[in-house]
Amino acid sequence: MSWSSKSLQWMIPGIFLTAKKSSKIVIMSPWIDDVELLIYSWNGREQLAGNVLLSNVMKWLHRNRNNHFLAYVRTDQLYPRINPRLNRVQSRASSALEVRDIQYLHAKLLITDAMVLETSANFLTYSIHRNVESLYIRKNPLQNASAFAQDFITRHGHSQL
């Protein structure tokens, strides 16, 4: 198991915290599940710590920092019978999450106004714990999560937004 496979579970929440209050956080992954993330200790109206589901992290960031999430998934993953995992996240974090589709999405990105995490891992439990072949974190040169996502989608030939 690589260092990145051991660290993605706590890196994702760290990247989330680079988002400005009231800003958008973009997740781009063909598949998304309600993965467990490791949070040391976040204080707000309520505390969040330990192994926490992605949907609960989204809700906490929405309630305490007014962050909103935009998730791009593959088109064929929108249907609950095909992907009950995404449906779980949507139903648990509905007020904080908007989901859009891209027909042939393969990219795996987490984007805030400040940072971009590019990885080989889908937002699935097995992937973030055991299947991280590459991991790259950099500053967001556009300093806007939505603008970076739109630019990425356009540059990589995905017409629908």
46 backbone dihedrals φ, ψ, rounded to 5°: -140, 155
- Tokens read off for 120: 């080989």
* Higher-confidence position of 135 and 131: 135
State the pLDDT confidence band at 135, using cuts at 50, 70 and 90.
confident
Nearest CA among 137, 130, 150 for reference residue 16: 137
State the pLDDT confidence band at 41, using cuts at 50, 70 and 90.
very high
Task: Give the Cα separation of 60 and 47 in Å (integer).
Answer: 9
Domains and CATH numbers, the chain: 3-155 (3.30.870.10)
pLDDT computed for residue 161 by the predictor: 46
Q: pLDDT tens digits, residue range 50-75? A: 999 999 999 999 999 999 999 999 98
